[in-house]
Chain A
């Protein structure tokens, strides 16, 4: 979203990323309007019902979107630091993998994979080394938290060996 187009104060070009934010805010407002319009008929005798406050919030979001457009056109948004997207993809991927493997493979393996992916995002790319470490560490965490503190962490094949 922010690659390259850092606006400087001299050029004052429209800030495209900021315009995207404005669209996001307006979209959020639209979503609220659309969802709560069906509740608008329900009002209590005070004149305000379940839809009133969401309407106010959505209206303010629209105003904020307009204000964002205004600042984007004036180039008032702060300059951004350059972002490297490789590490971000590693970590987001790790979280997604954990989400999908949590139920079938259990806490330790799923979270061990997340652990290794995060370490990879920060430069430790030796997965054959980090994945086993992650899994062993998470198994230890599982034993403490699920065993001693009775949190309901999903168990998989690995956990069933111990419990």
Chain B
């Protein structure tokens, strides 16, 4: 069967009334939560994971896909109307979008972001559908050592290649590894780092860690800044509709943004947000109105937003085909799969094609729903931005703990939530990135498994890791990604890298 047939079958799964309903709930919840200031896509997905606990795997993953895309849409609304840098994927959107909103052109800015996200989401999801089967074929010839090398590369790019310090990135990653050791060793059944506490034998839940670090850590950090007065929300004045000139200036930017964002997201390495920066730089160079950049140029919203959504769809390529999460959001989605005993990877396409293709098809449907939901209803979402901080964060913590209690109603689990929340707060104070901890926790054990399998096959000969050409190249790239930024920073050229820092996802 060709990709097209598979996609058609997926459409049949996704178009079942119940699944359409799940997708609709997903996109609505995703947008509503994603719009809330201070909540990025990673936290949106982590907070809403418990909503899907009691559904069947198919329905739950479809709702999940809707939440993921909805969270991406919602985030752009926040950054345009409420200049909140700090959420890396949307910094660029905030740059020009907020300026447009201040000039009373908030409507067109939101529209170009929404339509751009739609165009990018559509093209990139189709790209995902057509590329995935090839990557799956490639992945089937991968042995343990190639997988291990791939994961090492992802570790380096997620933790230390970007951001402002190799030391702090690596420290975050290894804290994640240290937490990942906790529990029963999968190959020998030995309990490690559990100190006789039964609650620790199962290891640490990725969702508990993610919710604690993102939701509780962030809330503590914001609260500790003290009262800085209310944030300034730009009202949406005038028409939401774009003028002919807006369209003319936007459509090329959408396509270029998609072309830049998708391949970067689809690469099995971290740093998916670079696409937004590259797209911004490209638009600035190609624009006929370069003088408008920095004062609200519509291309500067259209391109990066498209790149952002395209790379969000792109990250699903390594996630679904290789089981390799390259962002914190993808790591939480992987945890979502695992709660049903599903391990994404080449085998999932063979054993459960209905599920995978239903998921991909429902991404397409979710994208259409979001366009409808976002353009006319944007006024409703904007109202969510006006929730005062005390109520907003009280609500965030309510739902953060709700998820943990729903998964495992134990005092111990809540204690871990609190402890990791305080850890996340401390890491924020000192500028340690959060995403590497989450990725390290979920990917660390998988990497250990592959390494030990590779060494078992070679009977303990370590050189085998470098003798496969694919693995050798991947490890060489990983080494370069670790060393080159170190040299750049030592020479005082680190600013560029810290601008590309991955804060949220």
Contact = CB atoms under 8 A, between A and B. Distances in A.
A36 B224 contact: no
B227 to A, nearest CB: 6
A57 B357 CA distance: 38
B460 A48 contact: yes
Which of B401, B414, B431 counts the most A-chain CB atoms under 10 A from its CB? Answer: B401
A149 B181 CA distance: 33
Interface string B174-216: 1101100100010110101101000000000000000000001
Interface stretch (B5-13, B50-58, B125-133, B272-280): B50-58
Interface in B395-450: 395, 397-399, 401-402, 405-406, 409, 411, 414-415, 417-418, 421-422, 425-426, 429-431, 448
Interface in B345-400: 389-391, 393-395, 397-399
Interface string A34-60: 011001001011111110111001101
A32 interface: yes
Which of B391, B399, B460 counts the most A-chain CB atoms under 10 A from its CB? Answer: B391
Interface string B446-485: 0010011001101110000000000000000000000000
A36 B183 CA distance: 12
Q: Number of contact residues on B: which range applies?
A: 35 or more
B174 to A, nearest CB: 5
Given A81-B225, A150-B54, A134 B394 contact: yes
B430 A149 contact: no
Contact of B422 (A21, A92, A111, A114): A92
Given A88-B425, A151-B54, A153-B406, A122 B223 contact: yes
Given A50-B192, A118-B394, A57 B401 contact: no
Contacts of B225: 81, 83-84
Interface stretch (B89-97, B164-172, B307-315): B164-172
B226 interface: yes
B412 to A, nearest CB: 9
Interface residues of A, number: 75
A102 B226 contact: no
A9 interface: no
B177 A141 contact: no
A57 B25 CA distance: 42
Interface in A110-132: 111, 114-116, 118-124, 130
A122 B192 contact: no
Contact of B401 (A2, A21, A98, A103): A98
A141 B455 CA distance: 50
Given A25-B171, A95-B421, A48 B455 contact: yes
Interface string A19-41: 00100010010011001100100
A78 B398 contact: no
Contact of A53 (B391, B401, B406, B451): B451
Given A78-B164, A118-B397, 5 more contacts: A32-B178, A47-B460, A57-B177, A57-B178, A88-B220
Nearest 9 interchain pairs by C-beta: A47-B460, A87-B223, A151-B406, A122-B390, A119-B390, A124-B390, A118-B394, A46-B456, A50-B185
